[in-house]
């Protein structure tokens, strides 16, 4: 029997996927990242112990095998640091890295920063981790892959071709830094030697494991609105965040994915630039930011906050074929009255519930109001333990999306999680 679950962010990332993945990891043999790199930040709270991971799949904290698929981009320096930091805390992470995953090189980080400065007022607001330039090189066939780090001659041949192009590009952006081939070669071959035992054909291992009925959890990073094709382009990340990206980014065929959980925060947040139609630049926005501790795990930037936008989540449902929803941070809405949900947009006298491809800022959200609630019980175990107003809020979301809400998170710790029984 196939036993696979994929977890996808349905908004702009930071939906609390780390907690849901950590919760589901208990039953998984493998936890797999399939896109993105150390632009992601997952915070996991294990009985008060906080772990912040950027590239290693969070399931390793539970002793699971963490796989970094071919669709990821890997900064080896960050990966080695994360492995060492976990080892210092007594966790020996079991990690497998696809030999086909692309490597974030020093010039990618430089170019990410340079491109943002060049764009000035029109910048994307990237995490400056070199993600976009690394994916650009992959598609331009100018990338370095993990397997290249295992063979000095191969890496040198690649750098001979690539470095002059990157040096010229840096000059175009006015960056004075000189790329030293010998230094880069030595450093990256050293990373390769440290990571050698982890670098394997992950697609073979995963497909075999699925056939053997092992439980596989695919851990999405970012959220559907940051998808390179279906997000708010160009204010997106550079990878395929939707569930299809999970197949491309692991080599696991679509027929092998049987459960896709969309993680949805009970309101909306976004870091970086780009449209956010339900944004609240007022006291309510600040309330959500403070009560939800909405500051980026990766860059510490304050997150922009707003009401839940179901046009966005419906977009995610369609694109990722979600089979169920996990709602997070319901507790953060406690104390607000009324609470609003955006159900449609209007433009030029017409209404739509389809997310537009461009000119997003010209659309106006149409809201439905819900009565708020004063408090949530601490550590509720059952859906019916929630106040009626909170249940009505969740039931409306379920009806709107036509997908069951199977998990509700009411606080950061594992114990503050309701699994809805049906």
Residues that bind ligand IMP (CB under 6 A): 12-14, 39-41, 124-127, 129, 131-132, 221-222, 226, 235, 237-238, 271-272
**Pairwise CA distance, residues 327 & 397, whole Å:** 10
Nearest CB to ligand IMP, comparing residues 222 and 320: 222
Tokens of 318: 């369609």
Closest residue to ligand IMP using C-beta atoms: 272
Spell out the alpha helix ranges (H) of 140-180: 152-172
| Residue in 14, 22, 112, 309 annotated catalytic | 14
Please confirm, yes or no, whether 203 is among the known catalytic residues: no
Active-site annotation holds for 385: no
Q: Residue 303: what are its φ and ψ, rounded to 5°?
A: -90, 140
**137 vs 140: CA distance, rounded Å:** 5
CB nearer ligand IMP, residue 142 or residue 419: 142
Helix axes 388-401, 310-320, angle to 10 degrees: 50
Q: Rounded to whole angstroms, what are the CA distances from 225 to 28, 137, 315, 320, 359? A: 27, 23, 9, 12, 15
Cα separation, 269 vs 277, in Å, equals 11
Q: How far apart are CA 134 and CA 235, in angstroms?
A: 17
- Helices assigned H by DSSP within 173-282: 181-195, 202-211, 243-248
Q: Which is nearer to ligand IMP, 13 or 106 (CB)?
A: 13
Q: What is the C-alpha to C-alpha distance for residues 65 and 93, in angstroms, rounded to an integer?
A: 8
* Closest CB 260 distance from ligand IMP, rounded Å: 19
Question: Pick from 272, 207, 274, 218: which is nearest to 243 by CA?
Answer: 218
The residue behind tokens 């707003």 is 306
Nearest distance in Å: CB 127, ligand IMP: 3
Write down the least CB distance from residue 297 to ligand IMP, Å: 7
Q: State the minimum distance, in angstroms, from the CB of residue 246 to ligand IMP.
A: 16
Q: Of these residues, 22, 27, 29, 42, which one is catalytic? A: 42
Structure tokens at 287: 């309330």
- Minimum CB distance to ligand IMP, residue 73 (Å): 10
Nearest to 204 by CA among 212, 193, 192, 194: 212
CB of 11 to ligand IMP, least distance (A): 9
Q: Is 408 helix (H, G, I), strand (E, B) or coil?
A: strand
Q: Beta strand 30-33 with 215-219: parallel, antiparallel or unpaired?
A: parallel
Point out the residues that are catalytic: 14, 42
């Amino acid at each position: 029997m196939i036993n696979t679950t994929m977890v996808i962010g349905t908004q702009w990332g930071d939906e609390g996927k780390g907690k849901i993945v950590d919760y589901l990891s208990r039953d998984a043999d493998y936890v797999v990242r399939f896109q993105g790199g150390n632009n992601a930040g997952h915070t996991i709270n294990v009985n008060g112990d906080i772990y912040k991971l950027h590239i290693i799949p969070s399931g390793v904290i539970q002793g699971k095998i963490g796989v970094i698929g071919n669709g990821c981009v890997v900064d080896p320096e960050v990966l080695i640091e994360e492995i060492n930091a976990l080892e210092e805390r007594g966790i020996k992470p079991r990690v497998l890295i696809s030999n086909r995953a692309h490597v974030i090189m020093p010039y990618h980080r430089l170019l990410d920063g340079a491109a943002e400065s060049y764009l000035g007022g029109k910048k994307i607001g990237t995490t400056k981790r070199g993600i976009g330039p690394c994916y650009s090189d992959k598609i331009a066939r100018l990338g370095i892959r993990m397997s290249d780090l295992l063979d000095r001659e191969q890496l040198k041949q690649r750098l001979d071709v690539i470095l002059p192009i990157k040096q010229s590009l840096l000059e175009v952006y006015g960056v004075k830094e000189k790329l030293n081939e010998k230094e880069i070669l030595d450093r990256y071959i050293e990373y390769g030697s440290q990571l050698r035992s982890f670098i394997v054909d992950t697609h073979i291992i995963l497909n075999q494991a699925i056939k053997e009925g092992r439980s596989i959890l695919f851990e999405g990073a970012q959220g559907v609105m940051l998808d390179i094709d279906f997000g708010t382009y160009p204010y997106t990340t550079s990878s395929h965040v939707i569930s299809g990206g999970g197949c491309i980014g692991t080599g696991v065929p679509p027929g092998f994915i049987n459960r896709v959980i969309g993680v949805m925060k009970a309101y909306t947040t976004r870091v970086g630039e780009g449209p956010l139609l339900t944004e609240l630049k007022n006291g309510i926005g600040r309330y959500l930011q403070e009560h939800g501790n909405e500051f980026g795990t990766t860059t510490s930037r304050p997150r922009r906050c707003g009401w839940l936008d179901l046009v966005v989540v419906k977009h995610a449902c369609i694109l990722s074929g979600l089979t169920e929803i996990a709602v997070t941070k319901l507790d953060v809405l406690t104390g607000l009255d009324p609470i609003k949900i955006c159900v449609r947009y209007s433009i030029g006298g017409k209404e739509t519930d389809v997310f537009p491809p461009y000119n997003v800022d010209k659309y106006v959200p149409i809201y439905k109001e819900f009565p708020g609630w004063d408090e949530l019980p601490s550590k509720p175990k059952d859906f019916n333990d929630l106040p009626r107003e909170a249940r009505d809020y969740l039931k409306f979301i379920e009806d709107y999306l036509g997908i069951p809400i199977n998990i509700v998170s009411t606080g950061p710790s594992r114990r503050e999680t309701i699994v809805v029984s049906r």
